[in-house]
Amino acid sequence: MNPVSELEKKLSLTFKDQDILRQALTHRSYLNENPGMVMSHNERLEFLGDAVLELIVTEALYEKYPEKQEGEMTSLRAALVNSKMLSEVADEVGLNDFLLLSRGEAKDMGRARQYILANALEALIGAVHIDQGFDAAKKFVHTYVFVHLEDVLSKKLYKDPKSLFQEEAQERVSVTPQYQVMREWGPDHNKQFVVGVFLGSELVSEGEGPSKQAAQEEAARKALQEKGWI
122 part of the active site: yes
Reference 183, options 225, 217, 212, 221; nearest CA is 212
Q: Which residues are annotated as a binding site for Mg(2+)?
A: 46, 119, 122
Q: Who's near 163: CB < 8 A, 6+ residues apart?
A: none
**Of 50, 131, 217, 218, which one is the catalytic site residue?**
50
HSE-up of residue 1 (Cα within 13 Å, Cβ side): 9
50 part of the active site: yes
DSSP 204: E
Distance CA 222, CA 184 (A): 19
Q: Which residues are annotated as a binding site?
A: 46, 119, 122
**Of 122, 131, 217, 218, which one is the catalytic site residue?**
122
H-helix or E-strand containing 165? helix 161-173
Distance CA 220, CA 179 (A): 9
Q: Who's near 110: CB < 8 A, 6+ residues apart?
A: none
Distance CA 87, CA 203 (A): 29
Q: Who's near 36: CB < 8 A, 6+ residues apart?
A: none
What is the side-by-side order of every strand in the sheet holding 178-185? 178-185, 192-199, 202-209
Q: How many CB atoms lie within 10 A of CB 24?
A: 31
Residues noted as catalytic: 50, 122
